[in-house]
Every structure is written in structure tokens, then in C-alpha cells.
Amino acid sequence: MSEIQNSSIFSLDDMSDEEMNSLIDGTITDFDEGDLVTGTVVKIEHDEVLLDIGFKSEGVIPARELSIRKDVNPEDVVSLGDTIEALVLQKEDKEGRLILSKKRAEYERAWNRVEEKFNAGENVEGEVIEVVKGGLILDIGLRGFLPASLVDLRRVKDLNAYLGTRIEARVIEMDRNRNNVVLSRRVVLEEARKAERSEILSKLKPGMRLRGTVSSIVDFGAFVDLGGIDGLIHISELSWNHVNHPSEVVKVGQEVEVQVLDVDLNRERISLGLKQTTEDPWRTLVKKYPVGAIVEGTVTKLVTFGVFVDLGDGVEGLVHISEMAKQHVDQPSQVCSVGDKVQVKVMEIDLDRRRISLSMKAAAETLGVEVEVKPLDKPEEDEKPVEE
């Protein structure tokens, strides 16, 4: 039987080294700097990771190119057998290996993803990995800078408290040439607070009673935090008695019960009252001194139309000049002086206007006494010159 010769079968032993290298090179994909490659982690060392990418030698990822985080342990980033993507930094080093970067491959992907969110006005989320001068660094697939002034609604004293926490923020600036991404958490908080304020405002109705905490005090009143929104207690609504300054009634941090007086949805303002949560002294007065009752009071002020009388607890009533005595009175000083104790009869109480009308004349008639009216002091007439 004759031997059949097959020209397509050859022996590697018959090939020269040059032919062998040429054959191997023809089966290996060529890479250029900037290409994205995918490979398998085949070795992890303290300063680099080796990646099988189907090249004639493994690609190497230096430790500094594994993550945007500084001083990472390679074993904390990758594991043997992981399939990862990397970017070609250098075609070949002195040992003929490709120099790769995992973090720059992720950066390319992350930049496009973050840019889409930036254009759409959407939020990004990442862990705070560094505290630097002037702010925080967030891992959002790339290094995002969050200025200290944009971390919270109010100034943050200790930025270190945020280290290791996850933060939701809005991208407010991107510059590819400078690899610069600026974030703001404050704008996210402001939008959330605005939505929360709108929800709270829509539920508030005049007359409702709420608990809150005094957040600040100003000359014209006190602001109360109702849990996401502040309302104002005007100084006139702090107490039924006269108040010179709000600090006389409330302190910052004090928990108080307040009543909703008015809600302005357009201006997002809430008017509150503190005195409305306590009984009006005037209503107490009505119970103690109903119309027709005779009480003793102290004259506090004389005016042309009558006198004011203190009935106790700082509550004053007016005795009109026509109600001071049975006789005609030209001036209140004809009947009494400031500090005098007088008997008065309660004639009328106006709770809305907080006015009490009193009468000394009616009290005297009931008691069967007379109110003395002194004559007016007449000015001395000028002496006429003696005619010669």
C-alpha cells in the first residue's frame, strides 16, 4: 500500500524560530495605548496585579492604578479569577508587558455615566473617601469634590464626621480637561426641604395645635421649628401680658406648644401663637367679676376722657369721665389721683377688643355712698392796675 501524503500537515520541528514567532504573533491581538481590554486576574502581588488578556505576556496593573482610593491593598480590590476591564496605558515596558489601569477604565465608564446624570439634573451617590482642604472627596466611580460650603444647609464644623458615610449629591460642574467634578449636597437637601415644607404647609390649618422647638429669637418674635419648617410667633402673640422682648417668655431650644394662626402658601409662611394655648386672663376675669360685680381697684392713669383702674393681674379697665360721679366732672383729677383705691362696678366686657367698661358712679349708687367731686382750681385773676 502506498503512503498517502497530505500537504496540509506539517511538523513544528521543521519550522525556524523566525517562522514560529511570526506564527505566534499572528494569533495575538495587538493593542494600542488608550484601548479598553478585558482579562482575568491571574496573580496578585503587593504592588501590582497581573491580568491575562490574551497577549504574549500578561498585562500588569500597578497598585496605584487599581482604584481612585489612595494606598489600597490590591487584595481588597480584586480576587484571583476576576474578570475585569482595564485601559492600556503603555504598550510595553522594558519586560515587554502591557501596562494597564483598572481605575482609568472605570473612570471612562463613570465619566460618561456621571455626565448623563449631570445633563439630566439627576443625583449621584458615593462614599466619602477623603477629607481634604476645603471639602470632601466622594467615590462616584471617579473622584468628586464636595466643597465644605455645600455639604449641608448650615456650616459644618467637623468634616471628618462624614468620612466613610454615603452621600447623595448633585453634580453642579464638570470639566473633562481638568478632570474636575464638583458636587453639591446642599441643593439636594434644599429640594427635599422644599418638598417637605410644601407637604407640611398643605396639611396645616388655622386653629391646629402643634409642638415645636424654639430655633431662634429676634426682636420682633421667636421662630419655632415644627419639624422641617419654621413658623413665627410674633411678639404680640407670645403672652397675654405686655412683652418687652421675646426672651422674657421663651428660650432657644425650649419645647413649646403653639397654635396655627395663619398659613400663607404662596410665601410659605406660618404665623403661630403661644398665648392662645393658655387661658386668656380676660376670660378668667369674666368668671371672677361678671357684669354687675363691684370690685376694688387701683387708679393707674388719668386721661382727659377718664381713668384706668387696675383690677389685678395687670388687667385694666376704663372708667369713662361720665361714669366717675353723679355730678358733672370736668377733669378726672377732681375725683381721684393715681394710686387711689376706688370701688368700681363692672358694666361691660368686650373679649374681642379686650376692654372692660367700669363705673364709679354705679358702684357708689349700689353701695349707697356719694363720690366727692372737688371744685376746679380757678386761676387767680391778675390784679387790675389802680387808676390814678
pLDDT, tens only, 113-141: 999 999 999 999 999 999 999 999 999 98
In 3D space, the residue among 284, 261, 283 whose CA is nearest the CA of residue 274 turns out to be 261
Beta-sheet pairing, 180-184 with 123-132: unpaired
User: CA-CA distances (angstroms) from residue 7 to 4, 10, 190, 306?
Assistant: 10, 7, 79, 136
Q: What is the pLDDT of residue 279?
A: 82
What mean pLDDT is predicted for residues 194-218?
A: 89
Residue 224, domain member (yes or no): yes
Task: Find cell 413649646 and name the residue.
Answer: 256
Please name the helix (run of DSSP H) or strand (run of DSSP E) that holds residue 79, with its range, or none: none
pTM value? 0.49
Q: What is the pLDDT of residue 17?
A: 54
Residue 292, domain member (yes or no): yes
Indicate whether 254 and 293 sit together in one domain: no
Amino acid, single-letter form, for residue 102: K
Query: From the centroid of its chain, how far is CA 352?
Result: 37
Indicate whether 127 and 79 sit together in one domain: no
Residue 297, domain member (yes or no): yes
Indicate whether 329 and 340 sit together in one domain: yes
Q: What is the pLDDT of residue 91?
A: 74
Indicate whether 108 and 125 sit together in one domain: no
Dist CA 100 CA 53 (whole Å) = 10
Q: What is the DSSP letter of 4?
A: P
Residue 220, domain member (yes or no): yes
Residue 19, domain member (yes or no): no
Q: What is the pLDDT of residue 13?
A: 53
Tell which of 93, 120, 147 closes a domain.
120
**Least-confidence region, from 1-15, 262-276, 317-331, 353-367:** 1-15
Dist CA 293 CA 151 (whole Å) = 65
Indicate whether 112 and 125 sit together in one domain: no
Residue 14, domain member (yes or no): no
Dist CA 326 CA 302 (whole Å) = 19
* Domains of the chain: total: 4
Residue 351, domain member (yes or no): yes
For residues 306, 310, 316, 317, the Cα torsion angle rounded to the nearest 10 degrees is -50
**Least-confidence region, from 87-91, 125-129, 320-324:** 87-91
Q: Under 8 Å CB-to-CB from 349, ≥6 apart: which residues?
A: 282, 285, 286, 291, 355, 356, 357
Which runs of E-coded beta strand occur in the chain?
Answer: 36-44, 48-52, 59-62, 83-90, 99-101, 123-132, 135-139, 143-147, 166-175, 180-184, 209-218, 221-225, 230-234, 255-264, 269-273, 294-303, 306-310, 316-320, 341-350, 355-359
Using the predicted structure, report yes or no on whether residue 262 has a pLDDT greater than 80. yes
**CATH value at residue 342:** 2.40.50.140
Q: Which domain holds residue 351?
A: 281-367
For the chain, the average pLDDT equals 85
**67 or 342: which leads in pLDDT:** 342
pLDDT tens digits for range 23-51: 444 444 566 777 788 888 888 888 888 98
Q: What is the pLDDT of residue 379?
A: 56
Q: Under 8 Å CB-to-CB from 163, ≥6 apart: which residues?
A: 128, 129, 130, 131
Tell which of 120, 155, 170 closes a domain.
120
Residue 32, domain member (yes or no): no
Indicate whether 86 and 115 sit together in one domain: yes
Indicate whether 41 and 96 sit together in one domain: yes
In 3D space, the residue among 155, 160, 129 whose CA is nearest the CA of residue 143 turns out to be 129
Q: What is the pLDDT of residue 27?
A: 41
Residue 95: pLDDT band by 50, 70, 90 thresholds?
A: confident
Indicate whether 288 and 351 sit together in one domain: yes
CA atoms within 13 A on the CB side of 36: 9
Dihedral sign computed on CA atoms, order 67, 69, 74, 80: negative
Indicate whether 233 and 293 sit together in one domain: no
Indicate whether 58 and 132 sit together in one domain: no
Dist CA 300 CA 258 (whole Å) = 33
